A = this chain, B = another copy of it.
């Protein structure tokens, strides 16, 4: 590519519209609740270091704490036992070339409005491809459910009932198809879990965590604004913090729109 063309591409990148797919990180953000016998992740907490005061006259800044899986966040293969032995399976070591990728955005908002436990099937994915084109290898598959619109009601966002969480997700077959037939980069959702809330009780529990990470693939959780993306053509920038041995990380996820 000669210099003029390269400059031209740079201009076109800078001209693309950027959509922010990240929620605000605050103490109000709902955290995943696991059964009480398991250790829990920290919610987000902030404390002021100084605020233009005796503690620092000209500057304002905060300390903060959270978990690697708090807020809008990235799941690395090492997060799951099935992904533990891959080289470069942490947010520290994943090849950064993976942090920019295309996305296929599957709109199941109408289905999920009618059924909180709605499951993404192979059939649904094939019907989507018939309308929007094939899911490209190495691309994110992002499931739009409009779940993000529940964010101001943390109870509705977690949607915990006596028998566990009721949130949508992919079937085991759909996960296997995305891995084996489409070789995707990973799977992203608006909910707090890439797996359906009730999947803990399936023959293979948590198939998306188990199989995606078992195939060295990634997850994105608590995304927002997927309703602003085209079905195909968006570029996703999802670059987690370079946390030493990190299993994941809160991050800013951006989409570039043609």
Within the assembled complex, what's the spacing in Å between the Cα atoms of A97 and B66? Answer: 27
B-contact 0/1 string along A218-242, CB 8 Å cutoff: 0000000000000001010101111
A interface residue count range (under 10 / 10 to 19 / 20 to 34 / 35 or more): 35 or more
Give min CB distance, A119 to chain B, whole Å: 21
Query: Contact between A56 and B79 (Cβ–Cβ < 8 Å)?
Result: no
- Beyond A18-B97, A24-B244, A46-B244, whether A66 also contacts B68 by CB under 8 A is no
- Beyond A242-B252, A258-B10, whether A247 also contacts B80 by CB under 8 A is no
Contacts of A26 in B (CB 8 A): 243-244
A212 interfacial by beta-carbon distance below 8 Å: no
Query: Contact between B99 and A252 (Cβ–Cβ < 8 Å)?
Result: yes
- Beyond A9-B9, A20-B242, A67-B49, whether A61 also contacts B248 by CB under 8 A is yes
Within the assembled complex, what's the spacing in Å between the Cα atoms of A41 and B62? Answer: 8
Query: Contact between A61 and B79 (Cβ–Cβ < 8 Å)?
Result: yes
Shortest beta-carbon contacts, A-B, top 6: A65-B65, A26-B244, A6-B258, A239-B252, A39-B55, A42-B63
